[in-house]
Amino acid sequence: MSVKKFFWEDPYRTTLDAKVTSVTDNVITVDRTIAFAFSGGQASDCGTINGYNIIRAEKVGKEIFYTIDGEHDINVGDEVIIMIDWEKRYRIMKLHFAAEIILELVYKNFGYPEKTGANISDTKARVDFVWNGNISETFPFLYSEANRLIELNLPITSDFSNVEDEERYWEVLDFGKVSCGGTHLKTTGEIGLIKLKRDNIGKNKERIEITLVNS
Ligand SMILES: [Zn+2]
């Protein structure tokens, strides 16, 4: 089974009608959705299905299983309304693309260090690298280049590289083209001002934490 993922087609959509395709206790699947399920380090959306809070969203293959809370009255075949917490999603999208920019800048300008982890919530994003020394030495360069790309307000294209396997990419001309199944902004300018923080997370392991200044 697979669900049509409207969060790719229109990541700015906040409400969607869908049809329920399965119900097992509090776990529901639908024919189409806007509620993102954790993958590639991007957090799941907060949202509701017919007013019931989505307390868990799990992506398995091309399907997404939503666990809703409470005693629900939803049955297979029902038309339901899916809503997402847009303020939270938009912060996730800004932090996600800020992390994409920082990652590309580090890769291309500092010898493609190995990435050991990444995570994007609605309050901060982080990217971890195998790194000798203090990664904050790169910050003056990263601030200057990231702010330049954000101020230029460049268009971001997102599309399938493989429809059958649901493989996606984003592209900013003259900057980068990267495989990613997350939800991406339309323009770099939406990110606004960012703040970087360094953390040493172990021997030869450095973390860059990204936060938004204005959101
Ligand atoms: Zn991405």
Distance from residue 113's CA to the centre of ligand 1 (Å): 18
Torsions phi, psi for 158 (to 5 deg): -130, 135
Distance from residue 207's CA to the centre of ligand 1 (Å): 18
Cβ atoms < 10 Å from Cβ of 134: 11
Q: Distance from first CA to last CA of the chain, Å, rounded?
A: 37
Q: How confident is the model at residue 136 (pLDDT cuts 50, 70, 90)?
A: very high
**Distance between CA atoms of 60 and 152, rounded to whole angstroms?**
38
Q: Are residues 40 and 112 in the same domain?
A: no
Domain end residue (candidates: 84, 99, 125): 84
Q: What's the pLDDT tens digit per position in 19-29?
A: 999 999 999 99
Q: Are residues 189 and 139 in the same domain?
A: yes
For residue 193, CA distances in Å to 23, 79, 107, 190 come to 43, 41, 21, 9
Distance from residue 49's CA to the centre of ligand 1 (Å): 25
As beta bridge partners, residue 19 has 79
Distance from residue 12's CA to the centre of ligand 1 (Å): 15
Q: Are residues 56 and 98 in the same domain?
A: no
Q: Are residues 56 and 97 in the same domain?
A: no
pLDDT of residue 214: 82
Q: Are residues 153 and 206 in the same domain?
A: yes
pLDDT of residue 6: 97
30 and 82 Cβ atoms separated by less than 8 Å = yes
pLDDT of residue 1: 80
Q: Are residues 50 and 64 in the same domain?
A: yes
Distance from residue 203's CA to the centre of ligand 1 (Å): 28
Distance from residue 82's CA to the centre of ligand 1 (Å): 23
CATH number of the domain within which 151 lies:
3.30.980.10
Distance from residue 33's CA to the centre of ligand 1 (Å): 19
Domain end residue (candidates: 84, 117, 143): 84
How confident is the model over 102-107, as a mean pLDDT? Answer: 98
E strands in 69-193? 79-84, 115-120, 125-130, 157-162, 167-172, 176-179
Residue-range definition of the domain harbouring residue 52: 4-84
**Number of domains comprising the chain:** 2
Helix/strand/coil for 72: coil
pLDDT of residue 115: 97
Distance from residue 198's CA to the centre of ligand 1 (Å): 21
How confident is the model over 65-80, as a mean pLDDT? Answer: 96
182 and 98 Cβ atoms separated by less than 8 Å = no
Q: Are residues 49 and 35 in the same domain?
A: yes
Buried b (16+ CB within 10 A) or exposed e, 9-46: eebeebebebebbebeebebbbebbbbbbbeebbbbbb
Distance from residue 11's CA to the centre of ligand 1 (Å): 12
Q: What is the pTM of this model?
A: 0.96
Distance from residue 44's CA to the centre of ligand 1 (Å): 14
Distance from residue 185's CA to the centre of ligand 1 (Å): 9
Mean pLDDT of the chain: 97
Q: How confident is the model at residue 175 (pLDDT cuts 50, 70, 90)?
A: very high
pLDDT of residue 215: 75
Helix/strand/coil for 39: strand
Distance from residue 191's CA to the centre of ligand 1 (Å): 14
- Assign 3-class secondary structure to 4-22: EEHHHHCCCCCEEEEEEEE
Q: Are residues 146 and 102 in the same domain?
A: yes
Distance from residue 140's CA to the centre of ligand 1 (Å): 24
Q: What's the pLDDT tens digit per position in 116-130?
A: 999 999 999 999 999
| Residue list, CB under 5 A from ion ligand 1 | 180, 182
**Which pair of tokens denotes residue 52?**
């019931």
Torsions phi, psi for 90 (to 5 deg): -65, -40
Distance from residue 183's CA to the centre of ligand 1 (Å): 6
